[in-house]
Structure 1
Amino acid sequence: MIAHLKGILTDTGIDHAVIDVGGVGYLVGASSRTLAALGRTGEAVTVHTEMLVGEEFIRLVGFASADERDWFRLLTGVQGVGARVALAILSALEPADLHRAIAMQDKAMVARANGVGPKLAERIVRELKDKTGVAPAGSAPLAGSAVAPVGSLSADAVSALQSLGFKPGEAGAVVAAAEAELGPDASLDALVRMALRKAAK
């Protein structure tokens, strides 16, 4: 398993880059966002990678951050989402935006990506909602986390709703919607009340 590559960026294409590591050129597929983040050819780069192995191929996919790689793993775990579609989604949306779209069940935002129709977008937001939780305002989410960072009002609000019987994904979605409406300075009480009103709609 190759977890990352550290070397010289020698070439880039529409959907790939070539990283020279000790004289060996590794071809890695990548989103347009990652390719833009790598910089210019001839410069030193570090790329987080995921190795895809099939009956007739071995491919490396590269990412500018470990967070993006984690999202790639989550996306490809959804039925109907292959590596190409996952990279298209990550080209269209930053991880934080993708997290927010899933938390708020915004399938239209996910459907912005090339090759993602309404049905697939709906499946993605539905299947991933319990795996990603609430998207904290103004910060990059951690893929796979069930709650917002410990100690945040968002996490406290989600916890409060869960104690009332809400599922983690459902609680995360309504808290994210409430936080988006009230702003980051809202009190815990106001956040919970607004989240409950949104859940009742």
Structure 2
Amino acid sequence: MIGRLKGLVDGVGDGWVLIDVNGVCYLVEGSGRMLSSLPGQGEMVTLAIETYVREDQFRLFGFLSEEERSWFKLLLGVQGVGAKVALAIQSVLSVGELSQAVMTQDKTMVSRAPGVGPKVAQRIVQELKDKIPEASFVVAGQGAPVGGAGHDAGVADNPDVNSTVSDALSALTNLGYARSQAHVAVMTVMGQMNQSDDEAATISTEALIKRALKELAENG
């Protein structure tokens, strides 16, 4: 099975790219978001690959990150979602946006993708709410946290902040809260601190857990 390809961009078409790996060209399918992010013709690219094998098919799907590939696999596990629909969703929503939509059960956001009706969108957010990859929790919080506008890049990219958020989420899930529920509470607290980036950047794990527990108690 092919898990990753590193080679030169040798051509791009509608829904696919050719990757030249030491003279062997692989046709890799992908989302519009992935294809639009590729480097130019003849330039080097590395793609995470999901190999799709059936009796009469052998297809390669490419992604710019392992998180994108994880979400593709999760989407394929939802009844009524095939590769075409999964890629359509990933063309419209980034990893963070898709994670946030599932966490907050926002079927309207998911149904923005072509070919995704309300029923399928509802099924996606319901079936995946407890299957969200661990890495996606922090990713989703780096853009626009629930309850407030996004942090400055310096806060969102701060490894100490990411570690604090991750530790708080782990503690809350160990207390029995669903990961999606815990994430909404933590991101709401982080969003409330947007007016003071110094506070967001220096809050301790214990303080974040305490404020998130209060949020859960008030809105649970």
TM-score scaled to structure 1, two decimals? 0.82
Q: For 1:161 and 1:49, how far apart are their aligned partners in 2?
A: 31
Go from structure 1 to structure 2 and tell me whether the alpha carbon gap of 1:175 and 1:17 turns closer, same or farther (over 3 Å shift). Answer: same
Give the % identical residues: 41
Q: Which amino acid aligns with 1:190?
A: R
Alignment of 1:41-190 (within 5 A): 41-132=41-132, 135-136=137-138, 137-138=141-142, 151-153=163-165, 155-156=167-168, 159-160=171-172, 163=175, 165-176=176-187, 178-179=188-189, 181-183=191-193, 185=200, 187-188=207-208, 189-190=210-211
2:214 alignment counterpart: 193
Q: For 1:25 and 1:160, how far apart are their aligned partners in 2?
A: 47
Q: For 2:129 and 2:171, how far apart are their aligned partners in 1?
A: 16
Is the 8 Å Cα contact of residues 89 and 113 (structure 2) preserved in structure 1? yes
Is the 8 Å Cα contact of residues 29 and 60 (structure 1) preserved in structure 2? yes
Q: For 1:131 and 1:22, how far apart are their aligned partners in 2?
A: 37
Go from structure 1 to structure 2 and tell me whether the alpha carbon gap of 1:155 and 1:9 turns closer, same or farther (over 3 Å shift). Answer: same
* Segment drifting more, 16-25 vs 125-134: 125-134
Is the 8 Å Cα contact of residues 130 and 168 (structure 1) preserved in structure 2? yes
1:16 alignment counterpart: 16
Shift of 1:22: 2.0
- RMSD over aligned CA atoms reads 2.5
Q: For 2:96 and 2:22, how far apart are their aligned partners in 1?
A: 34
Is the 8 Å Cα contact of residues 52 and 59 (structure 2) preserved in structure 1? yes
Alignment of 1:34-45 (within 5 A): 34-45=34-45
Q: For 2:190 and 2:163, how far apart are their aligned partners in 1?
A: 19
Stretches of structure 2 that go unaligned for 5 or more consecutive residues are: 144-160, 195-199
Q: 1 or 2, which has the higher helix percentage?
A: 2
Q: For 1:126 and 1:193, how far apart are their aligned partners in 2?
A: 25
Shift of 1:124: 0.8
Is the 8 Å Cα contact of residues 5 and 49 (structure 1) preserved in structure 2? yes
Stretches of structure 1 that go unaligned for 5 or more consecutive residues are: 140-148
Q: Which amino acid aligns with 1:36?
A: S
Is the 8 Å Cα contact of residues 104 and 180 (structure 2) preserved in structure 1? no
TM-score scaled to structure 2, two decimals? 0.75
Q: For 2:110 and 2:101, how far apart are their aligned partners in 1?
A: 7
